[in-house]
Structure formats: structure tokens, C-alpha cells
Chain A
């Protein structure tokens, strides 16, 4: 069976282990030009949640498209503001001064350093006690990317979400390119900073469905204050090369973080997920489950770290990575790790990687299903562990449609059971 390659993990430092990203260092990038309007509109409509979103902010090739965005339903929500970064900066909003750039550790991350140069961005402010249960949908799309020079077209999305004390919200970031199989080369380099005040609750989804020629590099930084609750679902379906750095700082007592991830990759895609759960205070809980389905010659990396500071007594943390390899040529590199300085904690981690369960496949074909159907069902079932926990229906639907299309099956299949979506998480 496929062995565990450790080549990419020989060194621990963030950039050293990402040898795959050296190719990016040798490239020249320039901001993408604004897209042609009809094409931009078409792509935005494809990925829109329509009325299921509380608000939609659409960026195409890094440019804010006010006409494609809908903020109509916001005024009635009370206490929730969504605005472009430009607008926030122009108004010299207090949020900007207080929060922007305070969390993403720019010096430690070369890509974050490139991003701070400006470009499209969003600021979401959820006021004290405000509740916005429908998702605020932030779309970062790329259409037929061109840059003025020989350089590869790039966009640099920036997101700042500030959720004040005892507020509740749902935020979705969608990253997509025109035509999943269109091979146009471009770079998306995104930074998201999220701040949750005391007892704030946030459900965050990231759906990465870039074009197959894309490089996607993203840093997400989350700061949690006491008793806040953060749920993250990060789904990676597209791009040639992707790296997500998700860092959560549990900086107040009884904060809780759930990080769920799903990677579905094929051909020669390479998807990296690096997560950090940094427990700074006591009585905090974190759960992490990342699942990978790898086909063809795809490679994925899961590097998860749980860091428990001396003061973080009574930490309860669990980290799991599970991977399904559909071919002998797919490769999974998993490195869960714990670093604990407190002496009264409950921390576990684990990782499994394996092929499809042939027992189960035989069970299905012995009832008349074709081998392809059976393997698809098994893949679906494996991913359902994650998809059924996703609370935003349009995100779930997108992932299910994507999987069905991968196997040439009709998109009306809904195998996962609606009733079982885990509502206990928030």
C-alpha cells in the first residue's frame, strides 16, 4: 500500500517543510485585471447562495463588485455591518485601527507579508449580542485572469471578522475560479482574521473550489476570548497547489474550538493543511477532525499542532486525521503533534490512512451495485462524517454535487441524511 512519505516533513519550520512552494518563490505575480462583467456575473451566480445568505460580498479578480453583491437584507438584522475594506479604511473605522493586521503573524509567514499591500477585502462586524444565523457569504472569484505583464495574475483577499461579546454569526468564504477544470494559472493569496469576544459564537466555512491551474495560499488567524465558541469547516476541492494555515488562539477560559476539514483531490493536486490550536488559558476545549480523499497521484499534507501553555490546565483537546487513498499512487503525509506544558490536561491525537474497505465494497456489489457505484458510495460515506456536520445547506450541497460529478453520477443524489447534521455544535 501507499507508504508514508516523510520527505516534506523533515524540517519543522513553516516554510522549510513546504518544499512544494518553492516554485512560487521563483514566479512573478501581479494583481489581476478587472474581469469582463458578463463572465464575472455568470460565475457569481453559479456560486451565489441567493436568498439563503444574509449578505453576499463578491470580489472578482480581487476587485470588489458592488453590483453583484447584496447587502439588502442587512439593515434589518440589527447590529451587523458588512463593508468593503476600502470603505472601512476610508471611514477610518475604529475596527480597522483596533484589529486589522493584529492577528495574522505577518513576520512569520512570507505570504501574509505579500498580502498586506492592499487589494480587495471585507470587514464584518457583529455587534454585542447581535445574532445573524443566515450566512454572510464572502465570494472571492477569479475569471480568465490576466495581469498587465508576463507575471502570473494574483489577487490578495483580506477578511476581518469581529464578533463582539455574546454575538452569533455564520460566515462563509468561497474561493472559486471559472470552470473547475479550466487550467488557467493564477494565485489567490488570502488572509482572514477573526476575533471572537467573550461568549461569542461563530460558524465559519471555507470552501476552496479554485480552478485546476490555481495556486491558493491562505492564512486564517482566530482569536478566542473566554467562553467563545468557534466552529470551522475548511473544504478543499480545487487548485493545483494549495496551502491553508489555520491558527486558533484560545486566549480566554472555557473557549471552545472545533476544526473540521475535508480534502478531495485527484490527478496531481497538492493540498496542504497546517493547523495550530494554541491553548493559552485553562478549561478550554478543542476538537479537530480532518479527512482526505485522494485519487490519482494527488498528495495531501496534514500538519496539526496542539500547543498547551503552562496556564492552560484542564485543557480537553482531540485531534484526528483520517485519509482514504483510492489509488496506490496517491500520497498522504500526516503529522499530528502535541506540545504540552501544563500537567493536568486531556489531549489525544491520532492518524489513520488506508484504502477503501474491500469488505464493505463486496457487501454493496453482492446486492447488485456496480463496482464504481460501490466505491463512490464508500468515498461518499467517508466524507459524510464531515459533510453531515456542515450546517450551511448550500455549502453541503456544493460538496455533494462535486463528489457526484467526480464519479459521473447525477447531481440529484443526496446520500447523507439531513436530519443528522450536527446541531449540537453551536
Chain B
């Protein structure tokens, strides 16, 4: 059974123009997928629609996540059911510490699954373990969410949060942009570790660059153009795209 099954998904900005024009995609348990494509092709919109962003409306299609109808769930239910969106532009929230926020996030998900909430001590233990994984400084937990973080720190924070929340499916929207090569390696190692911690866990990467895929090796690569996935292949497809560009795919599809 597919962990995520998207069929003919169409969506638009509320009362605005169509962006997704019939996306079909199946991610099996344990797989890593990458979606590549030009700016404006709909990659980020797909992530946002899956996470339940209200500025978009789904006009057609179906999404089944872990056997349940995803589109009927509120954004928080999707999160608690195991979907995680790593934002392309993480939001800064001055005044709220990361530790407070993450504890609330973890415990809401636990309550949803009928588990006991973590105590402060248990939570700290979890946090310290994950912080070590990403080589983060202890002061980080008392800092306000993303406040004054560099672009790279914000992205690392996204993946760190994913490690703490421990979702079934991680949607990582351009998590590699803004990272230098060392940070990229750390982040990729973290993603791989989360992915391998459970045979069910899957990852969907949205990226412009093949570089990330050297460190997080995908099972499948998809090319998205104008709101549709028009070509899919193995990890070697990313190398071809790197060499020949997206126009090549468009021309090839047009020729058919």
C-alpha cells in the first residue's frame, strides 16, 4: 500500500488561478522521492496543499495518506497523523521559545494517538538527543523560534524539528537552499537518520539542485512542469536534468 497516494490533484489559489493541474504521485512506505522543476511549476504549492494551507482550494482529485482521506483533515490533524512540512521560508516568531513550541507539538501528537504526554524531563532528554544529532548549541532551545537565524540555521532548525516530531512522511520544500556544503551534509545526514529509523518512513524532497541528491539518495525523481508531473525516473534522471536542463524534458514531452 502506498503511504501517500495522490490522484489527479487539482488546486488553485482561492478564487484565483489554477496551479496544480492533475498531479499523480504514489510514494510507497520507506521510499525517498524528489520533485524537481522550474520556479513556478507548482512544487511548493503541492507541499502546501498537502499540509492543508487554507489559501489554496482543491478543486479536484484525491489524496490518501496512510490509508486515510487527507483532504478531509485539518492542518493540525494532518501533522498529528504523521505529515511534516519543512518550510521553504520558515517563519520567525519572536517571543516564543523553540522548546515551549516543540513540547506542545510533540504532546499534541501524542495525545492524538492516545499516548501519555511527555514530562519536562522526558522532553529534555529527547531534545538533547536530537540536538546532538544536529550539532546544535544548548542555547538554541531558549531562543525564540527562528528569530535572528540565518537562512541556513532556519533550514537546519526545520529538519531538527522533524527529528523531534518524528513524522511518517517528511515534505522538505527546498530545505537545501541557503545551506553551505557543511550544513548541507549535516542536514542530509539527519534526514537519512530519521528516514532509516523506521522502515515505514518516507521523504519527499523538493529541490532545484542535484547536489542534495548526492547526500539523500532518492528512489524516484519526478519532473514537475506547469502543475503536472510530466516525467519520472530513477536517481539518474536528476543527473540528466543537471546536464541538459528542464527544456529538454519539455521538448521531449512535446514531441510525444
Same assembly: yes
Chain A positions within 8 Å of B, measured between CB atoms, are 357-360, 362-371, 373, 377-378, 380-385, 388, 413-417, 419
Which residues of the partner chain A approach B102 to less than 8 Å between Cβ atoms? Answer: 367
State the CA gap A360–B101 with chains docked (Å): 12
Name, among A360, A366, A385, the residue most crowded by chain B CB atoms within 10 Å (CB to CB): A366
Among A369, A382, A383, A384, point to the contact of B76 (Cβ < 8 A): A369
Residue of B nearest to A387 (CB): B95
Among A368, A413, A416, A417, point to the contact of B105 (Cβ < 8 A): A368
Which residues of the partner chain B approach A359 to less than 8 Å between Cβ atoms? Answer: 91
State the CA gap A358–B54 with chains docked (Å): 10
Question: Considering the complex, which residues of chain B in the window 65-115 have a beta carbon less than 8 Å from any beta carbon of chain A?
Answer: 74-76, 78-80, 84-85, 87, 90-91, 93-97, 100-102, 104-106, 108-109, 112
Which residues of the partner chain B approach A368 to less than 8 Å between Cβ atoms? Answer: 76, 79-80, 104-106, 108-109, 112, 165
Chain B positions within 8 Å of A, measured between CB atoms, are 51-54, 74-76, 78-80, 84-85, 87, 90-91, 93-97, 100-102, 104-106, 108-109, 112, 142-144, 161, 165
Which residues of the partner chain B approach A415 to less than 8 Å between Cβ atoms? Answer: 95-97, 100
- Asked if A371 and B142 make an inter-chain contact with CB atoms under 8 angstroms apart, the answer reads no
State the CA gap A253–B63 with chains docked (Å): 69
A3 → chain B closest CB, angstroms: 23
State the CA gap A171–B161 with chains docked (Å): 42
A interface, over-half SS:
helix
Given contacts A373-B104, A377-B101, A417-B142, contact A366 B96 (CB under 8 A): no
Given contacts A373-B104, A377-B101, A415-B100, contact A365 B79 (CB under 8 A): yes
Which residues of the partner chain B approach A383 to less than 8 Å between Cβ atoms? Answer: 95
Among A363, A385, A417, point to the contact of B87 (Cβ < 8 A): A363
- Asked if B79 and A366 make an inter-chain contact with CB atoms under 8 angstroms apart, the answer reads yes
Report 6 cross-chain contacts, Cβ distance below 8 Å, ordered by A residue.
A364-B101, A368-B79, A368-B109, A370-B108, A384-B96, A385-B94
Given contacts A377-B101, A417-B144, A419-B142, contact A369 B95 (CB under 8 A): no
State the CA gap A363–B53 with chains docked (Å): 9
Residue of B nearest to A384 (CB): B95
State the CA gap A382–B109 with chains docked (Å): 26
Q: A365-B75, A416-B97 are in contact. List 5 more A-B contacts (CB 8 A).
A: A367-B79, A367-B84, A371-B74, A377-B101, A414-B100
Which residues of the partner chain B approach A357 to less than 8 Å between Cβ atoms? Answer: 91
- Asked if B95 and A416 make an inter-chain contact with CB atoms under 8 angstroms apart, the answer reads yes
- Asked if A366 and B94 make an inter-chain contact with CB atoms under 8 angstroms apart, the answer reads no
State the CA gap A380–B85 with chains docked (Å): 24
Among B52, B76, B84, B97, point to the contact of A417 (Cβ < 8 A): B97
Which residues of the partner chain B approach A414 to less than 8 Å between Cβ atoms? Answer: 100
Residue of B nearest to A357 (CB): B91
Which residues of the partner chain A approach B80 to less than 8 Å between Cβ atoms? Answer: 368
Which residues of the partner chain A approach B97 to less than 8 Å between Cβ atoms? Answer: 415-417
Residue of A nearest to B96 (CB): A381
- Asked if B93 and A378 make an inter-chain contact with CB atoms under 8 angstroms apart, the answer reads yes
State the CA gap A373–B76 with chains docked (Å): 11
- Asked if A384 and B79 make an inter-chain contact with CB atoms under 8 angstroms apart, the answer reads no
- Asked if A366 and B165 make an inter-chain contact with CB atoms under 8 angstroms apart, the answer reads no
- Asked if B95 and A370 make an inter-chain contact with CB atoms under 8 angstroms apart, the answer reads no
Residue of B nearest to A370 (CB): B76
State the CA gap A415–B143 with chains docked (Å): 11
Among B53, B94, B105, point to the contact of A369 (Cβ < 8 A): B105
B10 → chain A closest CB, angstroms: 21
- Asked if A360 and B76 make an inter-chain contact with CB atoms under 8 angstroms apart, the answer reads no
